[in-house]
Amino acid sequence: MSNIFSASNSDSTLFIGGQRISGAQVREQNVLAAVSISNVVKTSLGPVGLDKMMVDDVGDVTISNDGATILNLLEVDHPAGKILVELARQQDKEVGDGTTSVVVIAAELLKRANELTKNKLHPTAIMTGYRLGCREACKFIADNMAIKVAGIDRETLRNIALTTLSSKILGNYGNHFADIAVESVLNIKTTDFRGKPKYPIKAISILKIKGASASESTCVNGYAIQRSYASQGMNQKVSNAKVACIDFDLTKVRLKMGISIVIDDPESLEDIRKREIDITREKLQKILDAGANVILSTRGIDDVYLKMLVETNSVAVTRIPKDELRRIAKGIGATILTTMSNLEGEETFEASSLGSAEAVEQVRLSDEDCVVIRGVKETASSVILRGANDHMLDEMERSLHDSLCTVGRVLESGSVVPGGGAVEAAINVYLENFASTLGSREQLAVAEFASALLVIPRQLAVNAAKDATDLVAKLRAYHSASQMPQANATRLALKYYGLDLMNGKLRDNKAAGVLEPAMSKIKMLKSATEAAIAILRIDDMIKLIPEKPQEDPHAH
């Protein structure tokens, strides 16, 4: 029986209409795709990394140096490349920072694995070695490199935020935004069902308002909505606010489509019109009678009813996005009502549906009005960002989001590690020593895993226009000395040494306050190893050619 694949060529054609690439060829292709993607983002790594400008098919411009953002905007066709894009997205979701590093490490692991397969080492042995190297590296970070953070140490949290911001657009305003990040995250503390503290970063709303300098950005303890009051005549500030959150229109009742009324008396028409207005007026009156003096709505309110609100010294904000209203309702203890009908079909509004806040006021910032809700039940936080233009504000938001995430992760996990390539260099030295104790083929894979990690300090030095070879060699020497069996206290302190990229030398990054969440490094290594292994497992690619739709002969 003839084989369904023609055996003459590894790039064989299938009888089902497609192509099959296998063995070394597919591995080469996958590694090439991964390295190409890594080359796009690696120059944006570190405090002196460069930005990328992405222009989409519509002509919208995005300028960023955030790995996940860059990769999301790239249109990657290669299946192996898509795995790396997904990897950056996952790192961004789970940790919020380290998106560029994770892609660079994964690509380097793949490149080295490809070299090993050329030297006749089986991919399965490489995978086993990589897994072993990753497990030992994570254990080493937890046991030797992690520095425990006792309680809420504001200075450490500030340093964490500063380290993250240093590689972003906000690096120049680092101190100001580090304080905003720490303040915002501490304001949203909640506990889960086991009593463990949680910091849901999504609870922090970020408002972007053009005009003024970035240094005028502020943190508000409460909720800020980028909308103005529904009417100019409303009071600027309402104290002791009772807030109704509604998800229905307060507009004149109109008959449904297809319903027609036949009348023979023209005056009855006026009565019908009047009644249409009165039905909604009664609804609004019930809300006000329940004690509400602030109405937040996802829909619109007609002018007739706004006049009623102005007369009763109440305020209303309309067209608030639903997810934002949900967050506010949760914080002020209100219930969002989609209708006022109860089970009997009568229209009522219970006072228990209202939420409360100390004050609701309208604040003017440059050309825009914002409504700020202060003194709410649950802790809440909003950051008002100011900047010159939309591109800058978008990048500021991404930068701030990363620093908020890292501060939150440190508060949840309680441990940090020194930055500036210190962890990668320490693991490199440790794994090389560890590899020499293995008496199996995995020794080669573990040694390559160790060498791959040096890509981070090397790339940091290259991006800073410093002598990478010299700095990385010195860094390894320091960490090698700190891991000697008879190392004294002075030598042990060398394990916190990392790169000082501004001055092109080494320094104690623990003392300098260059810190990162330990969780970020561990997640990064695990994710990069898994992604590299997933791509390494592939030894066959079958690509089907899409069928062309057959033309109907009767169509003409």
- Catalytic positions are 66, 99-100, 402
Cβ pair 82, 74 in contact under 8 A: no
Q: Look at the chain and count its residues.
A: 556
Nearest of 117, 119, 129 to residue 539 by alpha carbon: 117
Cβ pair 109, 83 in contact under 8 A: no
CA–CA separation, 216 vs 386, rounded Å? 6
| Contacts of residue 35, Cβ cutoff 8 Å, sequence gap at least 6 | 107, 110, 111
Cβ pair 534, 527 in contact under 8 A: no
Nearest of 421, 405, 422, 437 to residue 202 by alpha carbon: 405
CA–CA separation, 204 vs 188, rounded Å? 7
CA–CA separation, 398 vs 68, rounded Å? 10
* CB-count burial class (<10 Å; 0-12, 13-18, 19+) for 537: exposed
CA–CA separation, 419 vs 526, rounded Å? 18
From the centroid of its chain, how far is CA 185?
Answer: 15
At residue 256, the 3 state secondary structure works out as: coil
